[in-house]
Amino acid sequence: MTTTARRARRPLLFPLLLPLLVPGLILVLLLGLGTASVAQAPTTGRVAGAALDPTGRGVGGISVRVFELDASGGWMYRTTVDAGRRGGYGVEGLSPGRYVLQFVDTRPAHDTTRRVTTDVRTTVRAGRTTVTDAVLRRGAWLWGSVRRTGGGVARQPLVTAVRDGDTSGTVHTVRADRSGRYALGGLPTGRYTVFVDDRAERHTAAPKRVRHGSDAQRRSPSCCARRPAGTRAASRRAARG
């Protein structure tokens, strides 16, 4: 066979190999598209909603604290966002899983119109927005005054209220004014033990139980009271000198 004949037959090899090459090219293209799809799949989710009052109206002045729940149910803090004037909020970039959203009234502790901190559980899914609203109710409140044993005003002592049976470690604190008067709002209903500490003057008061009514301490310093939401209980404190 001459050289000219061999050169003439070489172009015939490509049509013969083409059926073998096409499946391989198609497979490479499919693998590439599959990899791109996996890379573009969303890995985080979003939660959004509103803080509402019992009538369904939006509530302003609320912060939303975001906690992720671990396998044992423990809370892991993630972030905090402020709701808008009408209560709307949104949190981006959350890993899929279970969460607790804690809605907190940011007004001062002495404001007796404060709303009770409210926890709402929700689930975040990748690529989705989970709508989670919370209804915040007005809390109960304490008010009274702090005086030193034997007379005189305990100026700006720290008043702390701890609710019976609360296992979350939550305490409610407020500092009394210069005349010893205080108010503590936004409290969940329940029974409380009240502590007073005036570290500046090195005076402390024995823990007292609170009952509904202005004569709480006069009746019994160890009595208990249940306060419906939106009502108030008063007590007098006598710091030891």
- Whether 140-239 and 45-135 are alike in CATH topology: the answer is yes
Token pair belonging to 159: 């008043």
As a whole number of angstroms, the distance between CA 68 and CA 77 comes to 6
Question: Residue 235 contacts by C-beta under 8 Å, 6 or more apart in sequence?
Answer: 142, 144, 194, 208, 210, 211, 216, 217
CATH of domain 140-239: 2.60.40.1120
186-207 pLDDT per residue, tens: 999 888 888 888 766 555 666 6
Domain boundaries, the chain: 45-135, 140-239
Let me know how many helices (H) and strands (E) the chain has, helices first. Answer: 3, 15
Full-model pTM: 0.70
The residue with greater pLDDT, 161 or 80, is 80
The residue with greater pLDDT, 223 or 57, is 57
Which residue in 153, 154, 146 sits closest to 184, CA to CA?
146
Superfamily covering domain 45-135: Transthyretin/hydroxyisourate hydrolase domain (2.60.40.180)
As a whole number of angstroms, the distance between CA 137 and CA 185 comes to 12
Which class for 186: exposed (0-12), middle (13-18), buried (19 or more C-beta within 10 A)?
buried
Q: Which amino acid type is present at position 54?
A: P
100-148 pLDDT per residue, tens: 999 999 999 999 999 999 999 999 999 999 999 999 999 998 888 887 7
Cβ atoms 142, 192 nearer than 8 A: yes
Which residue in 112, 123, 113 sits closest to 60, CA to CA?
113
Highest mean pLDDT of the ranges 14-23, 144-153, 226-235: 144-153
How many alpha carbons fall within 13 Å on the CB side of residue 115? 22
Task: Report CA torsion sign: 61, 66, 72, 73.
Answer: positive
10-61 pLDDT per residue, tens: 555 556 555 655 566 565 555 555 554 445 788 999 999 999 999 999 999 9
At residue 191, what are phi and psi to the nearest 5 degrees?
Answer: -110, 140
